Structure 1
Amino acid sequence: MAQADTIVVLDFETTGLSPDNGDRAIEIGAVKLERGEVVDRFQALMNPGRSVTAFIEDYTGISNTMLAEADSCAEVMDRFADFIQDYNLVAHNASFDQRFLDAELSRISRSYNGQFSCSLLAARRVFQQAPNHKLGTLVNYTNIPSSGDFHRALYDSEMTVKVWLKILEAIEQQYGLSDIPFSLLQKLNKTPKKSIHQWLLRQGESA
């Protein structure tokens, strides 16, 4: 059974909010975890074939000059498809990243077998007292040391890894669940917040 601590955590920086509107990926960052230990990383800028806006340049720190020198989206995503292999995938606000992953891979006729889970949805359920569930807020809330630049893909992936492991640690400590399966996190994310405590108690009792 696939474990929740053996995953690829990924993050995209993009030209906008939706591939359905023609937006493209401009950077991918990812961290590969096995049994909670980082075993590999992936980071690459990618040239979307057109300019990014001043807003995106300011938001991400990724300039058109940087992108002009980068490999094409097709080249980078082909390498990334090899990187993720059959691992399950996690992202913070996963619906966003999954849309871009699916869109970019479909352009090059590549796919993946792993399933997605969302650290944002999990944090909303496990860390209900947090002021909000933005990645930077959760890093502070869980006392994770932080010194880099949010909105760069690899750094955001690194921080998401740490938040994800804090979520697993909290579930283990509070409910006695160890060797947590990936499927449990997927179910947790679909369980209403008000029901989480009782639901996790039941999972601990039946483990």
Structure 2
Amino acid sequence: MLLEPTPVEIAADTIVVLDFETTGLSPDRGDRAIEIGAVKLVKGEIVESFQELMNPGMRISRFIEDYTGISNSMLTDAAPCEEVMHRFADFIGDFNLLAHNASFDRKFLDAEFARIGHSYSGSFGCSLLTSRRVFQDAPNHKLGTLVEYKQLPTEGVFHRALADAQMTAYLWLELLSDIKRRTELDTLSFEQLSKLSTVPKRQIEDYLQRLAQF
């Protein structure tokens, strides 16, 4: 059944966009975060950023060193994960959150926050799922591919947390711009975008038409 759009509530262009670099793929298997990067968007403008390496209390593999450019020596003097995550909790406050392939980053955010007894009040969105529905003609929906496909700002650095968070923020704003153009709406809510990311691809145009009625 097609989801009904909802009226504008919290604007989708006011959000914290985040990215983790980690020791592996799953905190359930003991993997930890080694870097967090984030940007805070307010009314579509980046107003603040956050980036810190963090010491996971274990050595990282050569594969992760090569993949991220983060070495064991770089992590030796970094603050423990727990200290960094306390600071990051202060940074995000009660903002809604966004990541590209959010299921990955959310697992690590939840796991690291659980270690310090913290939870967050905002909702969590996924630019990957949204882009699959809005940019259906893209070759694929990897972050790097979408950055090239839409000619978004980039310094050519990938797999470092702050750089990826910045590119995800630019991608998110491009998604919002495209949807606004197609619906002729001036403002979109985070809830509307969250619902859009779950609509079957073949029903996206119907959803956007319904969205345009609000």
TM-score by length of 2: 0.95
Aligned to 1:111: 119
- Whole-angstrom CA distance in 1 between matches of 2:158 and 2:41: 20
User: 2:16: which partner in 1?
Assistant: 8
Indicate which of 27, 39, 57 corresponds to 2:35. Answer: 27
Q: Tell me, which stretches of 5 or more residues in structure 1 are unaligned?
A: none
Name the amino acid aligned to 1:181: S
Cα offset, 1:154, TM superposition: 0.0
Give the corresponding residue for 1:158: 166
Q: Deviations over 1:65-118 (max 9, x none)?
A: 000010000000000001000000000000100000000000010111000000
Does structure 1 residue 149 correspond to structure 2 residue 160?
no
Provide structure 2 residue ranges, at least 5 long, that are not aligned to the other structure.
1-8
Residue 184 of structure 1 deviates from its aligned partner by 0.4
Distance in 1 between residues matched to 2:32 and 2:123, nearest whole Å: 22
Q: Specify the alignment match of 1:130 in structure 2.
A: 138
- Measured against aligned partners, the alpha-carbon deviations of 1:18-47 in whole angstroms (never above 9, x if no partner) come to 000000000000000000011100000000
Matched, 1:91 2:99: yes
Q: Secondary structure at the match of 1:110?
A: coil
1:100-146 Cα deviation digits (max 9, x unpaired): 00000000101110000000000000000000000010001111132
**Structure 2 residue 191 is the aligned partner of structure 1 residue 180:** no
Is 2:39 the counterpart of 1:42? no
Q: Post-superposition shift, 1:177?
A: 2.0
Corresponding residue of 1:190: 198
Whole-angstrom distance in 2 between the partners of 1:165 and 1:159 = 10
Alpha carbons 2:153, 2:167 under 8 Å: kept = no
TM-score by length of structure 1 reads: 0.98
Please report the RMSD computed on the Cα atoms of aligned residues, expressed in angstroms: 0.6
Answer with 171-180 or 129-138: which moved more: 171-180
User: How far apart, CA to CA, are the structure 2 residues paired with 1:33 and 1:187?
Assistant: 20
What secondary structure sits across from 1:190 in the alignment?
coil
Alignment-mate amino acid for residue 115 of structure 1: S
What is the identity percentage for the equivalent residue pairs of Structure 1 and Structure 2? 62
**Amino acid in the other structure paired with 2:137:** Q
Q: What is the identity, as a one-letter code, of the residue corresponding to 1:23?
A: D
Counterpart residue identity of residue 46, structure 1: M
- Rounded to whole Å, the distance in 1 between the matches of 2:103 and 2:83 is 23
Once residues 163 and 199 of structure 1 are traced to their aligned partners in structure 2, the CA distance between those partners, rounded to angstroms, is: 21
Shift of residue 174, structure 1, vs aligned partner: 1.2
* Structure 1 stretches of 4+ moved >4 Å: none
